[in-house]
Structure 1
Amino acid sequence: MSTFENLTISCADGYGLSARFYKAKHPTQQLPVLVCPATGITQGFYHDFIVWLTEQDLDVLVFDYRGIGASLHGPIRQSNASIQDWGQLDIPAAIQALLAKTGKQQVTLIGHSAGGQLLGVVPNYDKVAQMIAISGSTGHIKGLKGRTKQLAPVMFNLIFPVSSLFKGYGATKMLGMGENLPKKVAKQWAQFCSKPGYVMNAIGKTIFEDFHQEIQCPITVYWSSDDEIATQANVQDLLRLYPNATTDMIELKPQAHDHKAIGHMLMFRKSHQNLWPFMTKTIFN
């Protein structure tokens, strides 16, 4: 018997997103959880973590953004998907689908990396009771560290433009950074990370609805001390965008949790499941 139900979510522009709905082991009054993936990461990556959430009696929905995984329709070079589409169309539709599925009025949003960067441009942000941003930051290139600080300029300024020109997409798979990206996604990722503020760099240019000031729900960011992307500086850069929200940033130190590394991705692996109660404790407070 499958642990999840496959769904197709229809966005406001008619685009269909592939999603999975996981039902809680036992029904409770807890709000359902929407898991919003990182850039180029497909819904299956979060399976073990979500199964654990259902064992904590939470209903959960996860989905693929347009242009990614099972939500890529046709050749990737033909995809017109953009990061702003993810925030303005995909996440809002996923919120509504989860509310319709559960009959609840609000959701808890767990956003991984990009999934925790876009709430400020989500039109139905008021349906989010709280956001837990895992490895959430603006990814500002000057705030990066380690190998990623050296790789990012090459990826943004050379690999993405060249691969977009000759292949029609942003080549990330060869770098071990998830699925290849639609060319608009790759271009916006480079643009958003080139200056502080991430998506704020598109406000007034391609995005004309900005809700950052209106958002008042609690926002908690969990970041690891060995994360080369969501560094302390970049986490702080994200949280400053929500001046009227109650915000908190909590550092995960690998050695303190008996791990050699956590980084940007490992906290969702089954090998790191001892972190899961810590990362989700605000849900049950």
Structure 2
Amino acid sequence: MTQNFKNLDISCAHGYKLSARFYPSQNEQHLSPILICPANGIVKGFYHAFASWLTEQGHAVMTFDLRGIGDSLHSALKKSKASIQDWGQLDIPAAIDTLIEKTQAQQVTLIGYSAGGQLLGIVPNYHKVNQLIAIAGSTGHVKGLKGRTKTLAPLMFKLVFPISRIFKGYGATKMLGMGENLPKDVAKQWAQFCSKPGYVMNAMGTTIFDDFHEKIQIPITVLWASDDEIATEANVKDLLRLYPNAKTTMIEVKPQQYQHKAIGHMHMFRKSHQNIWPLIKEQIKA
């Protein structure tokens, strides 16, 4: 099978290199290029089928690994100094600039998955994004969780992460089926940010000092599954309230509407659930 993407490096401020894939558009429409911003611990290859499908619709697409994750981890994980503010203030901005350079577009459309849809408000070049589509996007506030995750999250945040930080030097998420293991500071911040409403707002004035949430006026659309235990309706609303001047839309996706037993937090990008992808495509502004 012919490889339909090119591997490339993204150069961030201060010289850090991220590993990325660039998927050229498969037709001549030259629609808005799309940057897929990944979830916590989810590597770029996870989005391959979805990215390939988007190129058939006329979009150039780029996926990448955040620092400390996948091919953007350059040493032992316990040595990684990556943080969530690095992802939002350094990695995503560099990815935006790289995609613009590759496509010569003025702006990009950002499709953020979970954590990848939480950080636009701290991205300094937010003005180069024409729209945010957040898949399973929410603040993940622990009190807004439901089901089994409502029980497991406090155990992960208060027990698994602190213990694995001490004995392994990183946040152990792989054994929980939640993607790659996380750099220790990312895991620590994730727990802190989800402990109160507002996610990154809990770091303002301590580790994060640049807040662009109120300046953002672009369309922001969140698609979340009715059986998602993390991106619940309450947590989606908690995210969107951070953008008081944006044009926000919420779309609840029910598994039975698409003949699926489950969608949850993880399945919307999977090839098995590709009948949902046209709904995502419909949200992309011309």
TM norm structure 2: 0.99
Letter in 2 for 1:96: D
Structure 1 counterpart of 2:257: 256
Letter in 2 for 1:29: H
Q: Relative to structure 2, which stretch is displaced further, 273-282 or 91-100? A: 273-282
Structure 2 counterpart of 1:184: 185
1 CA distance for matches of 2:246 and 2:193?
22
Matches within 5 A, 1:223-262: 223-262=224-263
Matches within 5 A, 1:1-285: 1-285=2-286
Letter in 1 for 2:150: K
**Structure 1 gaps, min length 5:** none
1:30-81 C-alpha deviation (Å, 9 max, x unpaired): 1100000100000000000010000101000000000000000110000000
Say which SS state the counterpart of residue 153 (structure 1) adopts: helix
**Does the CA contact (< 8 Å) of 2:30 and 2:59 recur in 1?**
no
Over the matched positions of the two proteins, sequence identity in percent amounts to: 71
**Structure 2 gaps, min length 5:** none
* Shift in CA distance, 109/266, structure 1 to aligned 2, threshold 3 Å: same
1 CA distance for matches of 2:270 and 2:194?
26
1 CA distance for matches of 2:162 and 2:283?
41
Say which SS state the counterpart of residue 277 (structure 1) adopts: helix
**Does the CA contact (< 8 Å) of 2:223 and 2:250 recur in 1?**
yes
1 CA distance for matches of 2:249 and 2:285?
16
1:119-174 C-alpha deviation (Å, 9 max, x unpaired): 00000000000000000000000000011000000000000000001100000000
Letter in 2 for 1:153: P
Letter in 2 for 1:55: E
2 CA distance for matches of 1:284 and 1:131?
10
2 CA distance for matches of 1:258 and 1:177?
25
Shift of 1:280: 2.0
Shift of 1:27: 2.8
2 CA distance for matches of 1:54 and 1:93?
22
Letter in 2 for 1:181: L
1:234-272 C-alpha deviation (Å, 9 max, x unpaired): 000000000000000000000011111000011111110
Letter in 1 for 2:50: F
Q: How many residues align?
A: 285
* Superposition misfits of 4+ residues, deviation over 6 angstroms: none
Letter in 2 for 1:92: P
2 CA distance for matches of 1:202 and 1:27?
43
Shift of 1:29: 3.4
1 CA distance for matches of 2:165 and 2:30?
47
Shift of 1:279: 1.4
1:96-136 C-alpha deviation (Å, 9 max, x unpaired): 00000000010000000000000000000000000000000
1:196-222 C-alpha deviation (Å, 9 max, x unpaired): 000000011110100000000000000
1 CA distance for matches of 2:198 and 2:115?
13
Shift of 1:284: 4.8
2 CA distance for matches of 1:225 and 1:13?
41
2 CA distance for matches of 1:189 and 1:151?
14
Letter in 1 for 2:136: S
- The Cα RMSD (Å) is 0.7
Shift of 1:94: 0.1
Letter in 2 for 1:6: N
Shift of 1:282: 1.9
TM norm structure 1: 0.99
Q: Relative to structure 2, which stretch is displaced further, 22-31 or 252-261? A: 22-31
* Shift in CA distance, 208/284, structure 1 to aligned 2, threshold 3 Å: closer
